[in-house]
Structure 1
Amino acid sequence: MTPPAIGHVSDTARWVAIYRALESARPDALFRDELAAALAGEQGSALTQSGMLPRGARDHWPTVVRTRLVDDVILGALGQGCDRVINLAAGLDTRPFRLDLPAEIRWYEADLPDLVTYKESRLGGRQARCERIAVPLDITDAAATTAFLAEARAGARRPLVITEGLLPYLQAHQVLILSEQLRAAGTRWWVMDHWSPAMLRMVNLTMGRELGSARWTFAAPLGFFPGWSAEIARSTFLAAARWGRSPLPLRATTLLPEITPGPRLDRSRLWCGAVRLAPRDLRGRI
């Protein structure tokens, strides 16, 4: 029996880097990531060649579309006065190098020590487009995360926190702790990829063998996050159809309207996308 492609949750970072590299090679790429292949490294290349990537990896559209959607949400917040970016569980993300960012923005990245060390070794001293600070951190260590957020947020008036690709691997109580930590730290915007519970079950059903120890454990309606309200919600399925990335049977979703944040979105069973939350008392205020 073929072993799972994932031995530890941090290995998923290489999957994502491989997908970004594949997308960047397309003539109609949704983004260009010149560092993705180098960051995926030899292990990433081995995963590709061995066929141990998840089924449908050649059509890596959900991850690619999610990447572009989160890009757009971040850039939108920067246009609204975001003055600090904090990326939790940043993995092998390269946004500080590839997005058009103001040079004065301070961008914090945090992830497990081994992954931070690996990433820095693969970057080879390349300079980001803004001030980038990489910090080793176990997000599940509540005390260490609180201390990190206080340091990373210091001096910022409108900080934005990214948890792309993080929450599905946590337990519900850990997500609630993180939610409260972000509010207490004065986070102005919280950007995440959001999955309905039905989508979580579908992912584990179709990709459970490949995910191995990194099977997903958390999904919830947007109303799960106490003290937060959704300002923006962009569907992966709709964007993929508009951008020509989804399989042919799903292309008809271009005819559907985007669901605005609210009860209808919470009731939607098969929804995933990029979401921007704001503290409830600040919703709608710049």
Structure 2
Amino acid sequence: MQGAKAELPRSNESSTSIRAPVYICGMDLPESPIYDISDTARWVAVYRARESERPDAVFRDPFAQRLAGERGQQIAGSMPFAEKNSWPFVARTWLIDRLISEQVRGGIDAVVNLAAGLDARPYRMDLPPSLQWVEVDLPEILAHKEEVLRKEKPVCALERVRLDLSDVQARRGLFLQLGRRANRVLVVTEGLLVYLTAEEAAALGNDLAAQPVFQHWILDVASPALLKMLAKKMAAPLDQAGIPLKFAPETGPEFFIRCGWEPKQIHSVMHAAAKIKRLPLFLRLIAMISPARFQPNRPWSGVCLMGRRVLERRPPTQADQAPTN
């Protein structure tokens, strides 16, 4: 909803804090390997690093291993379900890379990456030097990235903005400022929306749509069935860290039509993983018989290119022209 306060996930502990054990129904649960939202960036960077080491890698991120660090490896090693099923992270990265390249060829002059985490696309992708790339995230994770990449040179004009996206007025001010500096902006929110409530996601969508030059938006979305499955398999560490998985709309990407955005392209992550040969055999068989479209009642995730919704214009009717009293 426009004007609603969006309490987006924020870093709530330092990596050196001492954490008390968690007790639920008399059970002593193992300590969560994830301390805060920034740890999820370290975790996911591990899978980009592993893909980059393959001889048949579908993308190369030579910075991912350093960015993930020992902490990222520790987190990944403690998440057995994700360790066995890292293909969604690889396929998602591959899909978003392709969509960004497509939009760059189409003439965008700026990319705004919200909750950018440890993404290194401004360093590793083939981008024009004139392209403006703005990374927005919490101070701690951006400071870590800057330290690791201090000797590296981005291929385009890179700017980092330290901002808590849950500060609605601050983010609106940033969007307004960015909207005045560019003509055609692509927004990217990779791995962000799933941590929001529906109200928070809608508020963010409305704030983005308020800027006319924000022409396209790349997002990823999960189905309710997938969220339910993940809740059983790997949600406990995230819940303990105070960053539960939340957003999985029944309508999929069409949820954002109300916010002024409509899906232009919808790509199934599973089908993309099959295309790049990263699916296990049994899932390849399932992908062959399953439709790629959004399915709320099946485990489904997708990467979507959203475009500004164009309202249909109709000629005025006699009722429209009738005088009012």
Q: Is the 8 A contact 2:268 2:303 kept in 1?
A: yes
The CA deviation at 1:257 is 7.6
CA distance in 1: counterparts of 2:132 and 2:146, whole angstroms? 17
The CA deviation at 1:54 is 4.2
AA of the residue aligned to 2:272: A
2:274 to 236, 241, 260: 241
Q: What corresponds to 1:270 in structure 2?
A: 299
CA distance in 2: counterparts of 1:34 and 1:10, whole angstroms? 20
CA distance in 1: counterparts of 2:295 and 2:104, whole angstroms? 27
Q: What corresponds to 2:189 in structure 1?
A: 163
Q: What corresponds to 1:63 in structure 2?
A: 89
TM-score where L is the length of structure 1? 0.91
Q: What corresponds to 2:232 in structure 1?
A: 205
Q: Is the 8 A contact 2:219 2:304 kept in 1?
A: yes
TM-aligned CA distance change 1:58 to 1:201, over 3 Å: closer
Q: Is the 8 A contact 1:164 1:192 kept in 2?
A: yes
Matched, 1:2 2:30: yes
The CA deviation at 1:207 is 0.5
* Overall identity of the aligned pairs, in %: 40
Q: Secondary structure at the match of 1:154?
A: helix
CA distance in 1: counterparts of 2:54 and 2:196, whole angstroms? 33
Q: Is the 8 A contact 1:222 1:266 kept in 2?
A: no
The CA deviation at 1:53 is 2.9
Tell which deviates more after alignment, 58-67 or 135-144.
58-67
Q: CA offsets, 1:164-212, max 9 Å, x none? A: 1101111221111111110002210010111112111211221012323
Tell which deviates more after alignment, 193-202 or 159-168.
193-202
Q: What corresponds to 1:42 in structure 2?
A: 70
CA RMSD, Structure 1 to Structure 2 (Å): 1.9
Q: Secondary structure at the match of 2:81?
A: coil
The CA deviation at 1:15 is 0.8
AA of the residue aligned to 1:75: S
Matched, 1:222 2:222: no
Q: Secondary structure at the match of 1:246?
A: coil
Q: What corresponds to 1:191 in structure 2?
A: 218
The aligned runs of 1:124-143 (5 Å cut-off) are: 124-143=150-169
CA distance in 2: counterparts of 1:200 and 1:257, whole angstroms? 19
Tell which deviates more after alignment, 9-18 or 152-161.
152-161
Q: Is the 8 A contact 1:54 1:210 kept in 2?
A: no
1:279 to 285, 304, 308: 308
Q: Secondary structure at the match of 1:3?
A: coil
Matched, 1:18 2:46: yes
Q: CA offsets, 1:136-185, max 9 Å, x none? A: 01111111111111222323221000011101111221111111110002
* Unpaired stretches in structure 1, ≥5 consecutive residues: none
Q: Is the 8 A contact 1:23 1:29 kept in 2?
A: yes
Q: Is the 8 A contact 2:115 2:137 kept in 1?
A: yes
Q: CA offsets, 1:28-55, max 9 Å, x none? A: 111110000111123123335xx31342
Matched, 1:86 2:115: no
Q: Is the 8 A contact 1:52 1:210 kept in 2?
A: no
Q: Secondary structure at the match of 1:67?
A: helix
Aligned length: 277
TM-score where L is the length of structure 2? 0.80
Q: CA offsets, 1:245-276, max 9 Å, x none? A: 1111111245358646xxxx365633211101
Tell which deviates more after alignment, 165-174 or 55-64.
55-64
Q: What corresponds to 1:102 in structure 2?
A: 128
Q: Is the 8 A contact 2:224 2:297 kept in 1?
A: no
Q: Is the 8 A contact 1:192 1:276 kept in 2?
A: yes
TM-aligned CA distance change 1:266 to 1:83, over 3 Å: farther
1:123 to 149, 169, 172: 149
The CA deviation at 1:26 is 0.8
Q: CA offsets, 1:16-35, max 9 Å, x none? A: 11111111111111111000
Q: What corresponds to 1:182 in structure 2?
A: 208
